[in-house]
Amino acid sequence: MPPGTTGGAGPADGTALGLDGERAATATPVTPTPTTAPPLRQGISNWSQPLQGDISGAQQALEFLEQSAAQLRGLKSELSAKLAAHQVRDGSIDARVRQFSSTWRTRQSASGGTLDARLAYGRKPLQHFSVRGMSLSHLRNGGKEVLAIAVGAGTQSLRSVSLDAGLSDDEIAQRFDDALAPAGVRVAVGDDGNLDFSTPESDWAGVRDNLSVQGGGMRFPGGQLNRIKAEPETPAIDPDTWHTSDADALRQTLQQVVQALAQVEAAIASVNGALTQADGQAQVAVPAGADTAGMGQVAQNFVSTASQPGYQSLLSITSALAGISRERVVSLLGLR
């Protein structure tokens, strides 16, 4: 009789673990980690907190992006099929659009706060915005004027921007950036040729609701601070604008879905690059031998436990599979 068992038969139909199997599982010998081997946590404890955050954030971002890509591929295929078959009104298309829209609204939380509305990856994703009345064409006109800009409540938040006739667009943007950077707002010339303001998404609500300006009566009124409106940039993907009412709407939506899928796939490549870089830094941070000795023992223990029938075997296998999504498997298979 095998060691660790005392006899007795399990259920004949196999629907539950028998006493022998359960006792065999709990009695499975697990070789302790040799005292001479470096503890498994030794390498991990040497990682810096930012590095651990980078790896965790990149993994969360990938999960979100892979889920989004899978939904977009399904929506693209169904749209193409419906258009080819001249089937317009179909609830399945609407359901897929709603599903992706719901997923997209979780971008900030699902990605661990690492992806902004442009799908740019970083520790502090940015909210880009424009400010009404602060177009470059308006700011170029006129002579010398000093603007007092408040970002936040109270006079301690006042910043000064000096404007002169003949300044270039880049010089205007630089003066705004120099003045507002201490308040957490950066300014540059955007792709559309206007000022592009940005602030961390976590600070956006405070900036949006507490932005005021006082001029000298030339470009902006003088006398007192006047509230100005900050308008958020349209996100890179906006499923709320996807319509399915007729064939033309379906074609337009299909174009938008194809563009969205290309943006998501580009973001996946970018985040994968960041994860590879962070992984490389983590490998450097782990002392030589610490990972191989510790992880080797973990692998040996897993094989020993999983090879024996019983509850511990099932527990080991299900724990190893926890968190593996269908989207992650499909994505990885697609790299072959």
Residue 228 near residue 150 (C-beta atoms within 8 A): no
In a domain, 3, yes or no: no
Mean pLDDT is lowest, of 24-28, 72-76, 280-284, for 24-28
Q: Provide the angle, in degrees to the nearest 10, between the axes of the packed helices 247-285 and 49-84.
A: 160
If asked whether residues 63 and 102 sit together in one domain, one would say: yes
If asked whether residues 38 and 130 sit together in one domain, one would say: no
If asked whether residues 41 and 136 sit together in one domain, one would say: no
Task: Tell whether the model's pLDDT for residue 215 goes beyond 80.
Answer: yes
- 91: confidence class by pLDDT, cuts 50, 70, 90: confident
Joined tokens for residue 224: 């007192």
**Tens of pLDDT, residues 98-143:** 999 999 999 999 998 899 999 999 888 999 999 998 999 999 988 8
If asked whether residues 75 and 134 sit together in one domain, one would say: no
In a domain, 10, yes or no: no
Q: How many independent structural domains does the chain possess?
A: 3
Domain final residue, candidates 216, 232, 248: 232
Question: What is the per-residue pLDDT for 65?
Answer: 96
If asked whether residues 155 and 303 sit together in one domain, one would say: no
In a domain, 171, yes or no: yes
If asked whether residues 255 and 113 sit together in one domain, one would say: yes
Q: How much is the average pLDDT of 187-207?
A: 93
Task: Tell whether the model's pLDDT for residue 294 goes beyond 70.
Answer: no
If asked whether residues 166 and 97 sit together in one domain, one would say: no
If asked whether residues 192 and 223 sit together in one domain, one would say: yes
Q: Give 195's strand partners.
A: 189
What CATH number corresponds to the domain at position 166? 2.60.40
Task: Tell whether the model's pLDDT for residue 47 goes beyond 70.
Answer: no
Task: Tell whether the model's pLDDT for residue 36 goes beyond 60.
Answer: no
In a domain, 13, yes or no: no
**Tens of pLDDT, residues 235-259:** 999 999 999 888 999 999 999 999 9
**Tens of pLDDT, residues 172-193:** 999 999 999 999 999 999 988 8
If asked whether residues 290 and 323 sit together in one domain, one would say: yes
- AA identity, residue 267: A
Share of the chain above pLDDT 70, in %: 65
If asked whether residues 131 and 228 sit together in one domain, one would say: yes
If asked whether residues 109 and 157 sit together in one domain, one would say: no
Cα 48 to Cα 285: distance, rounded to the nearest angstrom: 8
CA distances to 146, 175, 193 from 168, in Å: 17, 11, 12
The boundaries of the domain holding residue 141 are 126-232
Question: What is the per-residue pLDDT for 104?
Answer: 96
Task: Transcribe 239-284 into DSSP letters.
Answer: GGG---SSHHHHHHHHHHHHHHHHHHHHHHHHHHHHHHHHHHHHHH
If asked whether residues 139 and 191 sit together in one domain, one would say: yes
In a domain, 15, yes or no: no
In a domain, 244, yes or no: yes
Question: What is the per-residue pLDDT for 16?
Answer: 40
In a domain, 102, yes or no: yes
Domain final residue, candidates 164, 199, 232: 232
Residue 210 near residue 152 (C-beta atoms within 8 A): yes
In a domain, 16, yes or no: no
Mean pLDDT is lowest, of 27-36, 113-122, 251-260, 274-283, for 27-36
pTM for the whole thing?
A: 0.64
